[in-house]
Structure 1
């Protein structure tokens, strides 16, 4: 890797699995210090350990928890340079985008 993110700090929401985990790995491979945020404590800790980073539990639907995530990243590493906002949900009652109501969009 090029280490083009050396010295940078990246926060990845939904970083415990899937696209978020892959992004955390790539960011770390490029030299970033990675903070993994996720609702899954066990997988989140494992993901953070796998990239040599920090895990912070967070439900991105809760503004105070998101603030705490970014505060923890800044406290641990001094700043936040990259935010990979990956976490989200697809409500089970929302089967077609054409009928998504405003409350569902706010949860997503």
Structure 2
């Protein structure tokens, strides 16, 4: 792999699975320092260790968690070059919109849309 991202710092939300996990692995392989962010501590710590980075447990719907996520990244690495706002969810059990309650739907919107604001 190339080192074209050597020295760059990447904060990746939703790094514990799917696209976030694949992105963390790829950016680390390209030389980036990865800040793996997820709500699942066990998975997040595992991917951070695999990528040679750090883990921050954060719920992207919490302003305090997001502020802490960036604080930890800055305190650890002194900079952020890449912010991959990837965290996302679907309704519980992938329920049909016809049976998804308003609270569940509002949580989906907070994670998938509002959190990147």
Tell me the TM-score normalized by structure 1. Answer: 0.87
- Aligned residue for 2:115? none
Residue matched to 1:95: 96
Are 1:26 and 2:26 an aligned pair?
A: yes
What is aligned with 2:82? 82
C-alpha distance in 2 between matches for 1:53 and 1:25: 10
In the alignment, which residue of structure 1 is the partner of 2:10?
10
Structure 1 regions of 5+ residues with no counterpart?
A: none
The structural deviation recorded for 1:23 is 0.4
Per-residue CA deviation, residues 79-104 of structure 1 (Å, 9 max, x unaligned), is 000011111111238634xxxx7835
Q: How far apart, in 2, do the equivalents of 1:26 and 1:73 lie?
A: 19
- Which consecutive segments of 4 or more residues in structure 1 shift more than 6 A? none
SS at match of 1:50: helix
Q: Report the Cα distance in structure 1 between the residues aligned to 2:90 and 2:62, rounded to whole angstroms.
A: 16
SS, match of residue 86 in structure 1: coil
CA contact (8 A) 1:13 1:87 kept: yes
RMSD between aligned alpha carbons?
2.3
Q: 1:47: Cα distance to partner?
A: 0.5
Q: Extract unaligned runs of 5+ from structure 2.
A: 113-117
TM-score (norm 2): 0.81
Residue of structure 2 in register with 1:50 after alignment: 50
